[in-house]
Structure 1
Amino acid sequence: MKIVLTELAREHGSHWQVRLDQHVVTFRSEAEARAFIQTLESRLAAPHRLPYRQQRVAQ
């Protein structure tokens, strides 16, 4: 997943945009945007188990 942080110049100050491939999330501060990226990256790096596939017993 490609994560890109961009500053957006606005009339009333700047906003920050985090782009995750085709998805975009906008934040009011750089600190909020960076915290979001840090949380996302740690969740992506965390170990994940595949869901257990339950087998149905024929009745």
Structure 2
Amino acid sequence: MDIHIRELTTGAGVRWQVCLDRHGVSFRSEREAREFVAILRSRIGAPHALPRRAAPAIRSPG
């Protein structure tokens, strides 16, 4: 996943946008944007357990 921060100048002033591939999330300050990215990267990099599949039921004849 491509994650980067860019500065946006709007009619309401300067905003900061975190770009996640093609999706953008705006923040009021660069600090908020950087904190979001740090949390996101730590969650993406965290170990994730894969769900276990249930064993198939054994059917008895009859």
| Common topology (TM > 0.5) | yes
Q: Distance in 1 between matches of 2:23 and 2:13?
A: 23
Q: Deviations over 1:2-57 (max 9, x none)?
A: 10100001233200001101111011110110000000000011111111222463
Highest Rg: 1 or 2?
Answer: 2
Q: How many residues align?
A: 59
Provide TM-score, normalisation by structure 2.
0.81
Aligned to 1:57: 57
Q: Distance in 1 between matches of 2:34 and 2:3?
A: 11
CA-based RMSD: 1.4
